[in-house]
Amino acid sequence: GESVGLHLPTLSVQEGDNSIINCAYSNSASDYFIWYKQESGKGPQFIIDIRSNMDKRQGQRVTVLLNKTVKHLSLQIAATQPGDSAVYFCAENSQDNFNKFYFGSGTKLNVKP
Amino acid sequence: DVKVTQSSRYLVKRTGEKVFLECVQDMDHENMFWYRQDPGLGLRLIYFSYDVKMKEKGDIPEGYSVSREKKERFSLILESASTNQTSMYLCASSFRTAGNTIYFGEGSWLTVV
* Dist CA A85 CA B59 (whole Å): 30
Query: What's the confidence (pLDDT) of residue B100?
Result: 84
Q: What does the pLDDT look like over A80-90, one tens digit per residue?
A: 999 999 999 99
Which of A58, A47, A49, A5 lies closest to A31 in space, CA to CA? A49
- B101 at A interface, C-beta within 8 A: yes
Q: Which chain A residues are Cβ-neighbours of B104 within 8 angstroms?
A: 36, 43-45
A49/B98 Cβ within 8 A: no
3-state DSSP call for residue A41?
Answer: coil
Which of A53, A54, A20, A41 lies closest to A86 in space, CA to CA? A41
Q: What does the pLDDT look like over B43-65, one tens digit per residue?
A: 999 999 999 999 999 999 999 99
Query: What's the confidence (pLDDT) of residue A15?
Result: 97
A45/B102 Cβ within 8 A: no
Query: What's the confidence (pLDDT) of residue A49?
Result: 96
Query: What's the confidence (pLDDT) of residue A66?
Result: 97
* Dist CA B93 CA B104 (whole Å): 7
Query: What's the confidence (pLDDT) of residue A104?
Result: 86
How many CB contacts within 8 angstroms connect chain A with chain B? 53
3-state DSSP call for residue B96?
Answer: coil
Q: Predicted confidence band at B112 (pLDDT cuts at 50, 70, 90)?
A: very high
B1 to chain A, minimum CA–CA distance in Å? 11
B107/A43 Cβ within 8 A: yes
Query: What's the confidence (pLDDT) of residue B47?
Result: 97
> What's the rounded mean pLDDT across residues B9-28?
97
